[in-house]
Amino acid sequence: MSDPRAEPTAAEAPARHDLLPAAVDPTVFDEAFLRQLERLMLVTRKAVRGGMKGVRRSAKRGVSVEFADYRNYTIGDDLRTLDWNIYARLEKLFVKLFIEEEDVTVHILLDASGSMGLGAPDKLLFGKRAAAALAYVGLASYDRISIAVLQGRVARRYPAVRGTGRIFQVLADLSSVKAAPGPTDLAACARHYAAQLTQRGPLILISDLFDANAERAISELAGTRCEVAVLHTLSPDELDPPLEGDLRLLDTESGSGVDITADLATMDAYRARLTAWQAGLDAVATKRRAAYVPVPTTLPLADLVFAELRRRRVVA
């Protein structure tokens, strides 16, 4: 079996930058950054069953070197697992059980609704970069990466990939993601993804959560018993809108308008409302044992991965 940590082959390396999405700044994913990402690992608090051999403790018993338990011998067991020392003392046959190490599936859900297409810097672009970085962390940890894009009422899944060599596939998949016109029902998308989910593991939702059913979406995802982390991505002009005067605000998804008079009191009320909304989402996430990470799009990607997500115990 080949070493999953092996570097890309010489034939793969020149094609790397060609596969980078055009919208992704290649300097963001330079070698040094990738080397740093490889030292990280997405945190799983409990052992889950995986599909293939990996480096994470599985709920199954297997053939690793770490002793787990004994059980009585039954016909058909591998004789190599018999503990002959116990048989010599007790004249009974016991089989030694070992910890199984398997991979896990990391679910990365990227909100590609129309609202994610706005903001300065672009929220969707920021979400793509964050997804790519987390995907590489998972690939470098021999995890299976499953990326899904939430648009409309469905979660469109890309084929799960494994191994660092597939990072270019991931980047290519992400680069093809565009913000969808029309409204997006985040709860419906989450429900749709949960229905397709077969293997549990870390689940990361990257979204601006501008949806009346955002709390339900979090609950739906938390109901899959995955370890959910929500990266709540907002741009600076959403955190402190530079609005002034009499305005008619048009929703980019629904096209509906809201008339406001942006004066000091209104802006103060907006900021208070935003804070309360984020606090409510945080409370819901905490209640469902999910991590809630508010992320402004001005945050550098390195700070997000190496500082913010580490602090929130999403990666370690």
Partner 1 sequence: MPFLAPLALAGLAFIPLIVAFYLLRLRRTERTVSSTYLWQQLVRDLEANAPWQRLRRSLLLILQLLLVAVLVLAAARPFLERTAGLARDLVLVVDASASMGATDVFPDRLSAAKRAAIEALAGLPADGRVSIVAAGETARVVANEVTDRGRAADAIEGIRLSNASGDLGDALKLAGALAARARGAEVLVVTDDASRHVPEVRLAVPIRVLTVGRERRNQAIVALAVQTGAGGVKRSLFVSVANLDTQAATRRLQVLADGAPFTARDLFLDPLTRTEVVIDELPQGTAIVEARLTAVDGAAGPTGPADQLAADDAAWAIVPSDRLQRILLVGPGNVYLQNALSLLPSVELYGVSGADYAKTTGLEKFDLVVFDGFLPPTLPDKPILAIAPPRSSALGTVTGTLTGPYIATPAPDEPLLHDVDLTRLHVATAQRLELPAWARTVIPGPKQVPLLYVGAREGLPTAVLAFDLHQSDLPLQIAWPILVANLSGELLGRDASTLHPIAPGAPVELLLPPGSAGMRVSAPDGSATELVPGATGASTVTFVGTGQLGVYRAEPIPAAPEPLPSGATPSPAPSPSPSPSGSEAAAAVGPVRFAVDLFDPEESNIASGDGARLAALGGPPAAGGQAGIARDEWWIPIALLALLLLLAEWLVYERDGARRILGALRSALTLRPFRRGRA
**Interacting residue ranges for partner 1, rule: CB under 8 A:** 115-116, 118-119, 123, 208, 210-212, 235, 238, 241-254, 256-261, 263-266, 269-270, 273-274, 277
CA distance 136 to 127: 14
CA 222 to chain CA mean position, Å:
13
What is the smallest separation between the CB atom of 267 and partner 1, expressed in angstroms?
A: 10
Q: Which is nearer to partner 1, 173 or 211 (CB)?
A: 211
Q: Which is nearer to partner 1, 111 or 227 (CB)?
A: 111
Q: Which is nearer to partner 1, 91 or 246 (CB)?
A: 246
Task: Give, as one character, the DSSP assignment of residue 112.
Answer: -
Q: Strands 144-151, 161-162: parallel, antiparallel or unpaired by DSSP?
A: antiparallel
What is the smallest separation between the CB atom of 155 and partner 1, expressed in angstroms?
A: 20
CA distance 33 to 56: 24
Residues 232, 292 contacting (CB under 8 angstroms): yes
What is the smallest separation between the CB atom of 123 and partner 1, expressed in angstroms?
A: 7
Q: Which two tokens stand for residue 303?
A: 């700070």
What is the smallest separation between the CB atom of 190 and partner 1, expressed in angstroms?
A: 17
In the chain, the amino acid numbered 220 is E
End-to-end CA distance of the chain: 27
Residues 155, 149 contacting (CB under 8 angstroms): yes
What is the smallest separation between the CB atom of 128 and partner 1, expressed in angstroms?
A: 17
What is the smallest separation between the CB atom of 239 and partner 1, expressed in angstroms?
A: 11
Q: Which is nearer to partner 1, 36 or 278 (CB)?
A: 278
Q: Which is nearer to partner 1, 30 or 251 (CB)?
A: 251
Sign for the CA dihedral angle at 300, 306, 310, 311 comes to negative
Residue 181 DSSP SS3: coil
Q: Strands 202-207, 227-234: parallel, antiparallel or unpaired by DSSP?
A: parallel
Q: Which is nearer to partner 1, 10 or 265 (CB)?
A: 265
Residues 195, 187 contacting (CB under 8 angstroms): no
Q: Which is nearer to partner 1, 153 or 157 (CB)?
A: 153
Q: Which is nearer to partner 1, 23 or 274 (CB)?
A: 274
What is the smallest separation between the CB atom of 241 and partner 1, expressed in angstroms?
A: 7
Q: Which two tokens stand for residue 290?
A: 């999910």
Residue 261 DSSP SS3: strand
Q: Strands 227-234, 144-151: parallel, antiparallel or unpaired by DSSP?
A: unpaired
What is the smallest separation between the CB atom of 254 and partner 1, expressed in angstroms?
A: 8
